[in-house]
Amino acid sequence: MPISRREFVAASAAGAALAGLDTTAFAAGSGEPDVIVIGAGLSGLEAALTLEENGLKVLVLEGRRRVGGRVYTLFDVPGHPEVGGNSIANAYGRCIAAAKKYGVEIVNLAPRLFANRAGQEFFLGGEHIDLKDWANHPRNPFVGDARKLPPWTWADSMFKQHMPFKDLENWYDANHAQYDMSVHDFLASKGASDAMIRLGYDTNISYGTTSHDVSLLQQAFSDHWQNVNRGAVMGFARNGAASVGSAPAAATPGAAPAANPMANLLVGVFKDGNQNLPIAMAKHLKGDILYGRRVTAISTGDSGASVTCSDGKVYRAKAVVCTMPFSTLRDVAIDPLPPSLQHKAIRTLGYIPITQFHLVSKKPFWEKDGMSPSMWTDGPLGVVLAQRPGNDPNEVTSLTVWCRGQNGLFVDRFGIEDGKRLIISEFERLRPASKGLLSVAATHSWTTDPFSAGDWAIFQPGQVRELRASIAVPHKRLFFAGEHTAVGSRGMEGALESGERASLEVMASLG
């Protein structure tokens, strides 16, 4: 059975105590590792390091040619924009502790972000709409006071107003099973029309592909995590678009406590790129990381397990920790098959399609047309975010185009080169001042990435009630980690949470 949250916290403390003991004698004397960890993302590295600290010999197999998994920094693009995990906030305790432990500096972007809230431009059907005109615009599908809301804030407003339960922390509790329904059906039950839901939720969606394939309980989980980190997210909408509101700047270190409780908010990044955290973690491993190892089969029994890679090599150990997302694990032969519900979860758990294009402009065309470089659109560009990582909040180093959900799948159909041309053409159509100035410095589709096949995991309607409890249950000597198995946190923090939990389960199993 999966351990409860209270048991998990207690076990974490016990694991910390174990780390101080000399358990080296437990390590096998042969050349074979005690544990194989599949995946060198944050969850895999956290599991591997914790196991090594407790005297176990660990081998890490990574399909990519780099560490980090879905923490991926474009070091060769100005400003080092992020393709994967973007930032951490106040409740990312494991991330903050890991940065300190492995010597990676955290930079708080809150002061510079909130010092320059230029907003974003709004394009609908190719038309530029000033937000002051939106309430009375004929394209506005909302009703009543909601007509005043920009599309990217409408869903947040609906959930805050109508979410049927307040105990969001226990979003997976059986008492909430009746709410394991689609977001679409829930919003429709509150009077929302299909047109409202399409514009206010499906356009530039944050979870899933459409509102039909996202459970309301998934939404509750995400809302809980945002509430926990309220200070860091209050200036942003769930779809990554900037809010028209503002937030106070972070307090100066050493200054007297501010009266405003939000003054100590953290919008943190790891200095010079978030991938520097997994890079630093990997450097502290005693065992090997073997790159370019695509896993094709896992065999597990009561006394050990083996992993077969695409080159035919077989690696054996007493236990295996698999951090592969289920979107790729479903293509791996597992023998014997996991129990039926866990196998069904591996086969069906949803993932959000996300494709990014990172653009560099020769000149600041936004100064010529008098608009913000950031945009929210219902076309191929999706959301465009200006990157301002430097000390000068007015300096834009690059533009990130976020294509999500159905839009991400649409853009992917063009392939890389035609996709680039599509994005530049659409940009120049909406913003003629940019003509001839933009180039695509990098692009990445998480959907077509063979080691990801989608970005973060999404519970679809009915899956929380039926499958969640089975997802991370150990299968003989096969253990599961990864952000999709986290229950208390999301993103980078969820990855570390899961790696910590899996390492404790392995140690308990091996005795």
- Please name the residues in contact with 506: beta carbons below 8 A apart, sequence gap of 6 or more: 35, 47, 51, 56, 319, 321, 479
The two beta strands, 268-270 and 106-108, are antiparallel
Closest C-alpha among 308, 322, 331, 353 to residue 458: 353
Q: What is the 3-state secondary structure (H, E, C) of 373-424?
A: CCEEECCCCCEEEEECCCCCCCCCCEEEEEEEHHHHHHHHCCHHHHHHHHHH
Question: At 178, is the pLDDT very low, low, confident or very high (cuts 50, 70, 90)?
Answer: very high
Name which of 244-248, 256-260, 344-348 the model is least confident about.
244-248
Provide the pLDDT for residue 64. Answer: 98
> Tokens for 34?
């005690």
Spatial contact of 352 and 456, defined as CB atoms under 8 Å apart:
yes
Name which of 510, 507, 511, 369 is nearest 12 in CA terms. 507
Least confident piece of the model among 14-23, 112-121, 370-379, 433-442: 14-23
Left, alpha or beta for 39 (phi > 0: left; psi -120 to 50: alpha)? Answer: left
Residue 240's pLDDT band (boundaries 50, 70, 90)?
very low
CA gap 501, 307 in Å, rounded? 21
Answer for the pair 208, 405: CB distance below 8 angstroms, yes or no. Answer: yes
Phi and psi, residue 130, nearest 5°? -75, 135
* pLDDT top residue among 193 and 391: 193
Confidence (pLDDT) at 170 = 87
Phi, then psi, of 95 in degrees rounded to 5: -65, -45
pLDDT at 262 (0 to 100): 46
pLDDT value at position 391?
80
pLDDT at 376 over 80: yes
**What mean pLDDT is predicted for residues 131-155?**
97
Indicate whether 183 pLDDT > 70: yes
CA–CA dist 40, 480 (Å, integer) = 14
pLDDT for the residue 229: 83
At 30, the pLDDT band (50, 70, 90 cuts) reads: low
CB 217 within 8 A of CB 171: yes
Residue 451 CA to residue 471 CA, distance in Å, equals: 19
How does the average pLDDT of the chain come out, rounded? Answer: 88
Task: Residue 430: name the closest of 391, 379, 465 by CA.
Answer: 379
User: What does the pLDDT read at residue 393?
Assistant: 79
CA 160, CA 227: separation in Å to the nearest integer? Answer: 11
pLDDT at 390: 83
CA 238, 241, 244, 250 torsion-angle sign: positive
Give the C-alpha separation, 82 to 501, whole Å: 27
Report helix, strand and coil shares of the chain as percent, to nearest 5: 40, 20, 45
pLDDT at 228: 84
Angle value at C-alpha 450, between 406 and 223, nearest 5 degrees = 50
pLDDT at 49 over 90: yes
> Can the peptide bond before residue 336 be classed as cis, meaning omega within 30 degrees of 0?
yes
- pLDDT range class, residue 114, cuts 50, 70, 90: low
Mean pLDDT of 480-507: 97
pTM above 0.85, yes or no: yes
Arithmetic mean of pLDDT, 357-377: 97
**Mean pLDDT across 256-277:** 74
What residues contact residue 305 under an 8 Å CB cut-off, 6+ apart?
A: 36, 298, 299, 316, 317, 318, 319, 320, 476, 477, 478
- Comparing 232-241, 316-325, 417-426, 428-437, which segment has the lowest mean pLDDT? 232-241
- Cα separation, 263 vs 214, in Å, equals 34
pLDDT for the residue numbered 167: 76
Phi, psi of 116 (to 5 degrees): -140, 70
Does the pLDDT of residue 234 top 90, yes or no?
Answer: no
pLDDT of 17 higher than 70: no
Share of the chain above pLDDT 90, in %: 79
Q: Confidence class of residue 94 from pLDDT cuts 50, 70 and 90?
A: very high
Which amino acid appears at position 256 of this protein? Answer: A
The residues facing 443 across adjacent strands are: 357
| Residues 50 and 34: beta-carbon distance below 8 Å | no
Q: Is the predicted pLDDT of residue 256 greater than 60, yes or no?
A: no
The predicted pLDDT at position 232 comes to 41
Asked whether residue 257 carries a pLDDT value surpassing 50, the answer given is no
Helix (H) or strand (E) holding 356: strand 354-361
pLDDT winner (highest mean) among 228-232, 254-258, 391-395, 432-436: 432-436
pLDDT tops 90 at residue 23: no
Domains and CATH numbers, the chain: 5-69+274-350+461-510 (3.50.50.60)
Supply the pLDDT for residue 118: 59
Task: Classify strands 121-124 and 305-309 as parallel, antiparallel or unpaired.
Answer: unpaired
Whole-angstrom Cα distance, residue 398 to residue 357? Answer: 10
The average pLDDT across 184-201 equals 98
Q: Say what percent of the chain tops pLDDT 70.
A: 86
Cβ distance 398 to 79 under 8 Å? Answer: yes
Residue 245 has pLDDT above 50, yes or no: no
404 φ/ψ angles, rounded to the nearest 5 degrees: -120, 160
Per-residue pLDDT, 92: 95
DSSP, collapsed to helix, strand or coil, labels residue 90 as: coil
